[in-house]
Amino acid sequence: GAVVSQHPSWVICKSGTSVKIECRSLDFQATTMFWYRQFPKQSLMLMATSNEGSKATYEQGVEKDKFLINHASLTLSTLTVTSAHPEDSSFYICSARVGGTGREPKNTEAFFGQGTRLTVV
Amino acid sequence: AQTVTQSQPEMSVQEAETVTLSCTYDTSENNYYLFWYKQPPSRQMILVIRQEAYKQQNATENRFSVNFQKAAKSFSLKISDSQLGDTAMYFCAFIPPEYNTDKLIFGTGTRLQVFP
């Protein structure tokens, strides 16, 4: 299957600083990438949909200014947690789909990065 | 609202036995895609099986099969001949047929423990 690489896999930062997480599709082009947040022993909560060349679409309740998303190319999306606070500590996961919005089965599988554990101290 | 419910927070099964994880969902749409994802301790999300709502035949992938009941909006996962490596969190998910985004909506998850 396709490979999505997420970096870093873990990061510790001081409160008030910003941290950037990268999500790359290694062997395919992804017009759309998704960013999720996962609290311990909980499900994945969709934060935003990252669209190449346009603004991200944020889910209700997600602060746009806190979680900056950039999707500058077909293979890279970044999530920047700005002015991080301890409550932002979480596991962040990105995913990407192959191709566009086709309804063929091969276009509906989402490939996930390995996740980033963010700890804000 | 389009939601996914997994009513079993935790399940356990003995190795080589069969276990069924339940999932119900709510949508007013007619065509959509359903998935089961596995998240082992490494936390890497892995696709287990998928089902297209317009197909009546239940999907099967080796030891994994689903029981898709569209009218009941139910999508259970059966794991046969359970193996220790099946120990993981299992998430049911679906893609509502929104044309501009194909975002996955996840259930709350079921933690499966396979015992030797």
* Phi and psi, residue B84, nearest 5°: -60, -35
**Looking at residues B6-16, what average pLDDT do you find?**
97
Q: Select from A42, A108, A112 the Cβ nearest to the Cβ of B45.
A: A112
CA distance A23 to A33: 8
Q: How many CA atoms lie within 13 A of A28 on its CB side?
A: 20
A44, A47, A57, A71, best to mutate vs chain B, most B CBs in 10 Å: A44
**Looking at residues B23-41, what average pLDDT do you find?**
90
10 Å CB burial of residue B16 (0-12, 13-18, 19+) is exposed
CA distance A56 to A70: 7
What pLDDT is recorded for position A32? Answer: 85
**Looking at residues A5-31, what average pLDDT do you find?**
94
What residues have CB less than 8 Å from B41, skipping those under 6 apart? B87, B88
Lowest mean pLDDT among A43-52, B9-18, B92-101: B92-101
Lowest mean pLDDT among A75-79, A82-86, A109-113: A109-113
Task: Say if A83 is an interface residue toward chain B (CB within 8 Å).
Answer: no
- Three-state DSSP class for residue B85: helix
Chain B residue numbers touching A41 (CB-CB < 8 A): 111
**What is the rounded average pLDDT for all residues in chain A?**
89
Residue A69 has pLDDT above 80, yes or no: yes
What pLDDT is recorded for position B1? Answer: 54
Among B102, B33, B31, B97, smallest CA distance to A100 is for B102
Under a CB-based contact definition with an 8 Å cutoff, are residues B37 and B95 in contact? no
How does pLDDT run across B63-110, given as a tens digit for each residue? Answer: 999 999 999 999 999 999 999 999 999 999 988 765 455 778 899 999
